[in-house]
Amino acid sequence: MIKGKKTLMPDALIDKTEPSFNAEPVLDALIVGAGFSGMYQLICLRDRLGLSAKVLEAGSGVGGTWYWNRYPGARCDSESHVYWYTFDKKLMQDWDWSERYPEQPEILRYLNFVADRYDLRRDIRFNTRVVRADYDAAANLWRVRTEAGELYSARFLITAVGCLSTANVPNFPGLEQFKGDWYHTGQWPHEGVDFTGKRVGMIGTGSTGIQAAPVIAKTAAHLTVFQRTANYSVPARNVPLTPEFKRWIKENAEEIRSLTHETQNGQSFRIETRKALETSPEEREKIYEAAWERGGLQFRAVFEDMMSSKAANDTAADFVRRKIRSIVKDQATAAILSDIDHPYAGKRPPIDTDYFETFNRPNVSLVDVKAAPIECITADGIRTAAAEYPLDIIVFATGFDAMTGPLMAMNIHGRGGEALRESWNAGPRNYLGLQVSGFPNLFMITGPGSPSVLCNMPVAIEQHADWITDCIAHMRANGLDRIEAQQEAMDSWIEKVNQAAAATLLSTVPHSWYLGGNVPGKPRVFMPYAGGMANYRRICDDVAAAGYPGFEMSASERVAAE
Ligand code: NA7
């Protein structure tokens, strides 16, 4: 135990032997990552259960995704009144968002406000990257090593490393000879980047590139957008929140929270029950037009069959393509932007502020790198199969090794030294997205196999952290200190994850990061659980209520002997 630190962990569960390599006292729980999930998990375990818990965080501050992604235009696509913690009624009353979609600096301020309010920093070790974690079966402890060589031991290891935190910088030949500056959007310099008077090249047109391009174009001398796969986007229609709306949030905070627990996407809007294919073309057009005007992710929710029927989806896809062609004045550019090869929202659907309008600026041009791929980076810019583009700055808006990347980077080894990397070499496998057979006492927050990125993240995060907390409380109450997902439970869960994906159009887009399609060599497996957040919550609750079937719980020998 940490000297002088109160813990409620029963003596029987405490490892009293100091392992030879261990420099730190044994903790009840070690959490990796101090973003939305790690911060809340710390509150749950330390303040609710009274455990000794610490967080290791690679960054120098809290925030996770919102600490790293400081690129111009970075903003949340969920609306602010559902993008926060809801575990504390008073906290919801004490924070005001300023805009419909909170911008990165405001979210980071919010997370710092939460860290201050619950005095979290005293148990977070910053600038500390985990480079290896081993399960020590004899001691029933996780042994964790950091980049600086520090060693930690803990009964439970909880990964709160985010889904989109391992930057994917494509391996273009010649990057090292580029004379200008280059940046990945997910590792943006804290001091910002001055684009004034610069020739900027931006690779990537996912949610990030679509947010960044309009902002970069405002100050750059010229912005060249290198597009491989054309993408849909719907206007966000961001606005400052009125005093009336802010009051409405406070007065209805509990009802909004309940609604986010009932919907399949953790949002405060429901997916309509009407079907696109049973709606007349005129009526459909009106519905899409109204959704386009309202803006935001809700566009996806206007027809029940949009994500399950290709024919229904085609009506939405056709609407957005027509919008792109009506906004973008240069017909050649409009044709490249609207030549989209996948269903609407088959990849994560971006929302934007003036993205397509940006291509009407005289200082912005589009390069189709599907037609003429990028061959290399030269000292002076980017060379494609068709031309060379001289640049001062290159922005990689090229996404992430999503979901599994951050877990693999921790170099996790389970029982008998089995590496997670090996165990998952054909794609991630787990039970309920929470635990992997062979890796006792390891819990994953919003990892593969859970709704995670298909849900409004704070809703998914609170559900996971609460479930893990209740599970650990149950174990403590029953004198148990070891939990491991059973192989059969894992196999049948993965079947459910695959079935859920196959029932939607999400699994039909080979280049989507949901499927690992954006990282060369990554197994093509649909990673998140697409069966809906409300359904998933029910499944997890039922498992807990039934005494955790599918998990094997036990008392390690020392505990059993007492
Ligand atoms: P995404 O959605 O993975 O988008 C990355 C973009 O970068 C996408 O347009 C890719 O094209 C492009 N890309 C990646 N590698 C290359 C290479 N080698 N050449 C050319 N273009 C490339 O990442 P984002 O950061 O935009 O968004 C991630 C999530 O953050 C988002 O979904 C939200 O949940 C928040 P491709 O489509 O693969 O052809």
Q: What was the pLDDT predicted at 24?
A: 60
Question: What are residue 384's DSSP bridge partners?
Answer: 374
Instruction: Choose the weakest-confidence range: 16-25, 65-74, 306-315.
Output: 16-25
Please check the confidence at residue 371 and state whether its pLDDT lies above 50.
Answer: yes
The half-sphere exposure of 313 on its side-chain side, counting CA atoms within 13 A, is: 18
**Please, which pLDDT band fits residue 556 given cuts at 50, 70 and 90?**
confident
**Please, which pLDDT band fits residue 7 given cuts at 50, 70 and 90?**
very low
The binding-site residues of ligand 1, defined as CB within 6 angstroms of any ligand atom, are: 164, 170, 203-209, 228-229, 348, 369, 374, 397-400, 453, 511, 513, 518
Q: Whose CA is nearest to atom 23 of ligand 1?
A: 399
Ligand 1 centre and the CA of 163: distance in Å?
14
- Angle (deg, nearest 10), helices 457-477 and 533-545: 0
514-550, pLDDT tens digit by residue?
999 999 999 999 999 999 999 999 999 999 999 999 9
Please check the confidence at residue 363 and state whether its pLDDT lies above 90.
Answer: yes
Ligand 1 centre and the CA of 509: distance in Å?
13
Q: In a mutational test of the pocket of ligand 1, which residue from 175, 232, 355, 398 has the highest number of ligand atoms less than 8 Å from its CB?
A: 398
**Please, which pLDDT band fits residue 557 given cuts at 50, 70 and 90?**
low
CA dist., res. 445 & res. 68, Å (int):
19
The number of beta carbons lying within 10 Å of the beta carbon of residue 540 is 20
CA distances from 278 to 160, 260, 342, 346 (A): 43, 28, 22, 21
The number of beta carbons lying within 10 Å of the beta carbon of residue 340 is 17
| Tokens encoding 356 | 């397509």
Q: Are 444 and 430 in contact (CB under 8 A)?
A: yes
Q: What was the pLDDT predicted at 558?
A: 55
Please check the confidence at residue 16 and state whether its pLDDT lies above 50.
Answer: no
| Alpha helices (H) in 54-95, listed in sequence order | 65-68, 89-94
Residue 284 neighbours by CB under 8 Å, 6+ apart: 276, 303, 315
Ligand 1 centre and the CA of 195: distance in Å?
22
The number of beta carbons lying within 10 Å of the beta carbon of residue 347 is 23
CA dist., res. 466 & res. 87, Å (int):
9
Ligand 1 centre and the CA of 397: distance in Å?
6
| Tokens encoding 368 | 């189709």
Among 456, 558, 562, CA closest to 155: 558
Residue 283 neighbours by CB under 8 Å, 6+ apart: none
Q: What was the pLDDT predicted at 18?
A: 37
DSSP state of 241: P
232-281, pLDDT tens digit by residue?
999 999 999 999 999 999 999 999 999 999 999 999 999 999 999 999 99
Residues in the chain: 562
Pairing of strands 234-235, 442-444: unpaired
DSSP state of 2: -
Q: Whose CA is nearest to atom 29 of ligand 1?
A: 207
**Helix, coil or strand: residue 552:** strand
Please check the confidence at residue 2 and state whether its pLDDT lies above 60.
Answer: no
Q: In a mutational test of the pocket of ligand 1, which residue from 518, 524, 527 has the highest number of ligand atoms less than 8 Å from its CB?
A: 518
Q: What was the pLDDT predicted at 25?
A: 79
Read off the pLDDT of each residue in 191-216 and give the average, rounded to a whole number: 98
